[in-house]
Amino acid sequence: MIIKKNIHIVRALQIAMLFALLLNTGCAPVTRVVLLPDPDGKVGIVDVSSDKGIQTLDNPWQTTEVSSKGKAPSVPRLMDEKAVRAMFKEALAAEPIPPVFSIVYFETDSSDLTTESLKILSRVLEEIGVRKSTNIIVSGHTDAVGSVEKNQELSLKRAKAVADFFVSKGVHPENIDVTYHGKGSPLIPTPDGVPEPRNRRVEITVQ
Amino acid sequence: MKSTVIIACLSLLMYVGLASAEETKAGFVKSVSGQAFIGRKQISIPAKAGDKLFENDIIITGSDGNIGVTFQDNSILGIGPNTQVNISKFAFDPANKNFAFFAQIKKGTLVYLAGLIAKLENKSVRFETPTAVCGIRGTHLAIKVEAGDE
């Protein structure tokens, strides 16, 4: 009697598993989402939703799963860091080094870098090397002293000074994208004609 | 069965891709290893480092493939093997305050580190899978979409 009952349970389980298998074929894939810490250690937030509900992940290594379209995301739980690293091994290995953004500053009405900025520039050069970067975006800016035309020209000169420095150190010119904005894109907004050292700058993005 | 579904999904995506005329540069391929392709306008081309990516492109990797992508807003994507990702919308236009990054992950694994789009506008980064939607609020995350028959 007991044995017979067990057989029934086993049979029921087998049928349930078969159904689960059938439901999972083709267009009903399982989605797993894991929140990772940012490279700087900070942790953001991701909302995972389906037709039936929503879960918020806000702790590192927290995970939720949506097993089919008609299901709500599972209650978040912590996943072992090693297991996450194993599950996403190839994707993590393929993830590029995050791009880096730097600003260098210039003397008044000139394309001469400030002493401090020369040091920053050599650091940027190292960052280009580490990333083997082929996408370096260099954009020149000025403060609000002088005419629009004069500042357009000065901002281009500044951007070119930075680009020329990189080229002199062996960076291929084709890998550098130079743009210039004159006084049109100040970091610190000021009335026209006001000198502002923090706006006399070149912004560099190394991707 | 499975391959039919994949082909059906692919051709549907290709069709959607054709529907949009305007293309916006979204980013570029930073690294490739093994088999990886870019699907664009019903043609699939082998991906190589330096290739530009556009809105509506589909990134596809084979069983030994992975690919790294850097986007215009400095966000980064690492894609593992047997993966298919559609860059369905990409806008990074600070001058007009137009920001959006929508992607669809049909299958496979990826890791994503958000960039300026997520920082500059709330609810502007959204990754969809066949069963879930991830609203990304400036963060680093991993997504796996696994077919039940694997």
Task: For residue B30, give the chain A residue with the closest CA.
Answer: A96
Label residue B122 by pLDDT band (50, 70, 90). Answer: confident
Greater pLDDT, B147 or B34? B34
pLDDT, position A12: 60
Query: Which residues between 24 and 63 in chain A have a beta carbon less than 8 angstroms from any beta carbon of chain B?
Result: 24-39, 43-50, 57
Question: Between chains, do A24 and B147 touch, taking CB under 8 Å as contact?
Answer: yes
Identify the CA nearest to A46 among candidates A36, A56, A31. A56
How far apart, in Å, do the first and last CA atoms of chain B sit?
A: 13
Q: Distance from A73 to chain B by nearest Cα, in Å?
A: 8
pLDDT, position A24: 45
What integer is the mean pLDDT of B115-124?
92
pLDDT, position A29: 84
Label residue A68 by pLDDT band (50, 70, 90). Answer: confident
Label residue A69 by pLDDT band (50, 70, 90). Answer: confident
Q: A110: number of CA atoms within 13 Å, CB side?
A: 6
Residues of chain A positioned with their CB less than 8 A from the CB of B147: 24-26, 29-30
Label residue B23 by pLDDT band (50, 70, 90). Answer: low
- The answer to whether A29 touches B145, Cβ cutoff 8 Å, is yes
pLDDT, position A162: 97
What integer is the mean pLDDT of A110-128?
95
pTM equals 0.81
Residue B22: C-alpha distances to residues A186, B38, B55 (Å): 31, 18, 9
pLDDT-above-70 percentage for chain B: 82
Pick the CATH number of A100-206 from 3.40.50.1000, 3.30.1330.60, 3.40.1000.10, 3.40.50.720: 3.30.1330.60
What integer is the mean pLDDT of B31-57?
96
Which of B70, B79, B137 comes nearest A45 by C-beta? B137
Label residue B67 by pLDDT band (50, 70, 90). Answer: very high
What integer is the mean pLDDT of B139-149?
85
Confidence check on the interface: ipTM exceeds 0.95, yes or no: no
pLDDT-above-70 percentage for chain A: 86
pLDDT greater than 90 at residue B9? no
Any idea where the domains of chain B sit in the sequence?
Answer: 2-145
pLDDT greater than 80 at residue A70? yes
Mean of pLDDT over chain A: 90
- Residue type at A107 in one-letter notation: E
Which residues have CB under 8 Å from A36's CB, separation 6+?
A60, A61, A84, B111, B139, B140, B141, B142
Label residue B15 by pLDDT band (50, 70, 90). Answer: very low
- Residue type at A68 in one-letter notation: S
pLDDT, position B64: 96
Any idea where the domains of chain A sit in the sequence?
Answer: 28-94, 100-206
What integer is the mean pLDDT of A25-52?
88
pLDDT greater than 60 at residue B150? no
pLDDT greater than 50 at residue B132? yes
